[in-house]
Amino acid sequence: METQPTRASAKDFFINMGAIVALYTLVYSLINLLFTVINKAYPKIVEGYDYMGSRSISWPVATIIITFPIFIVLMWLLEKDYKMNPEKQNSGVHKWLSFITLFLSGLLIAGDLVTILYYFLDGQELTTGFLLKVLVLLIIAFGIFSYYLSDVLGKLTATSRKIYRVVALVIIVGSIVWGFVVLGSPRAQRLIKYDEQKVSDLQNINNQVTRYYTDQGVIKDTLKEMFDRGDYYPTLLDRETQQPYEYKKTSEKTYELCAQFNKASDEKNSVLTIYDPYGGGMWMHPAGHYCFKQTLPLVQNDFFKPLPMQLR
């Protein structure tokens, strides 16, 4: 005889819903963390411009550290309640959320396998980074699928639940440790953030100098002379050192922008080139004090300047 679903109370609904939301958040953050580490350790070689993206793992790690204990506590409360009231495992909310999670994890497994098969049949290169990402998705999705399949079949025991928790803890701790080994400690992450901000500020200054030249046809000896009018608003102060960025005019159409960097640009990663509509070019830098040499582009007025006497 088929067991009739038990009506869930408001408490049951919110504990079940909270556990599922915590699980989905945890899984998303874990995948984000591992993909970021894989991108760093096994970067994809790309051609052309690439937008500078943050390589920080701070957000996924912070989310995992907070979300994982919440998920464990909620699942412990559910397990404790199910021991006292076994019929609650047949509640509609529990079954619905379990089957939805089963469906989504099964879909992820199928999509993962289809993707790798497509890459193989299409003759595309199966890089180490790509295969690791496939493996990450497969392990996480299979773990969730097997857990909830055992749950809906009524085969989960106290021992098996503990095993799943220990395996999940090992994966999460291992992922965080791997992330910090590859990308550096929180202090190293802070220094990288500072460097990324400096490059972004210098790019903005470069764009505004180019804009000034386009408007005025000349550049001045100092940034103050160009930007005091109020039409240009670049950040001129290094937020880490609280010192102004250096600007050196070297000719009528060339200049240098300088800053003090904490770390060298990673040539294996995609902070290679920042997209710059004004043609700013490469923004690679070593650690320490470094100056980017900039050349102003041709503008319409350049084509109408009088020729030198010897060319007339």
For the chain, what are the domain ranges? 10-184, 188-304
Identify any residues that bridge with 258 across adjacent strands, giving them in sequence order.
246, 291
Could you report how far apart the first and last alpha carbons of the chain are, in Å?
104
Residue spans of the chain under pLDDT 70: 1-8, 44-55, 229-232, 266-281, 298-312
- For residue 46, the model assigns a pLDDT of 46
- For residue 55, the model assigns a pLDDT of 61
**What is the CB neighbour count within 10 angstroms for residue 308?**
7
Dist CA 123 CA 136 (whole Å): 22
- For residue 246, the model assigns a pLDDT of 95
- For residue 302, the model assigns a pLDDT of 53
- For residue 53, the model assigns a pLDDT of 44
- For residue 173, the model assigns a pLDDT of 95
Q: Are 244 and 238 in contact (CB under 8 A)?
A: yes
- For residue 43, the model assigns a pLDDT of 73
- For residue 167, the model assigns a pLDDT of 95
- For residue 44, the model assigns a pLDDT of 64
